[in-house]
Amino acid sequence: MSGRDKDSLPPGVRIRHELQPGDIGYLTYLHGTLYAAEQGWDYTFEAYVAGPLAEFARSPKQRERIWIVDRAGQVAGSIAIIEASAEAAQLRWLLLHPELRGYGLGRMLVEDAIGFCRESGYASVFLWTVDTLKDAARLYLATGFRLTQEETHELWGGRITEQRYELSL
């Protein structure tokens, strides 16, 4: 993030790129508990987050990055860019603790992730989300993504409509 963006962070919040002990487990926990409360998803969503997140931590790549939202020493959110192919990146694990929503932090994270994709030489970036996350969809559309695909199926303890968004860089 630029110096200007760092100055506009809520008090006690910083963004870091290096994983620390406990981050993988806590990010998995945060995704599981917040989405259970907000979306009604079951424990299988945690497994969906945990597997790829663990692989990301085990095999760091130069064209991948994670942004950890750290609030007073505790993980309070994240976003990451994963190399899907030589040409395409995948945006994953965008999440903010409810107390940090509404400050523009999500937009800063998405914009920084898109900038990283451009700097890393990707031609495009895509993400998967669900249709019930309306605020996230508005953010993706506002930053240039377009909805390209929808699939409805039984997942995470309910009937879910997943959406794929793409951005050409």
Does pLDDT of 65 surpass 70? yes
**Structure-block tokens of residue 2:** 């630029």
Does pLDDT of 76 surpass 80? yes
Domains of the chain, CATH where assigned: 3-123 (3.40.630.30)
What's phi and psi for 18, nearest 5 deg?
A: -90, 135
* CA–CA separation, 120 and 34 (whole Å): 31
The arithmetic mean of pLDDT across residues 76-98, rounded, is 97
Cβ atoms of 130 and 163 closer than 8 Å: yes
pLDDT at 147: 98
Cβ atoms of 26 and 73 closer than 8 Å: no
Burial class (CB in 10 A: 0-12, 13-18, 19+), 12: exposed
Angle at the Cα of 105 from the Cα atoms of 8 and 66, rounded to 5 degrees = 115
Residue range 12-24, pLDDT digits in tens? 899 999 999 999 9
Q: CA distances (Å), 149 to each of 2, 62, 68, 123, 167, in order?
A: 33, 29, 28, 19, 13
The residue type of 125 is: V
The residue type of 158 is: G
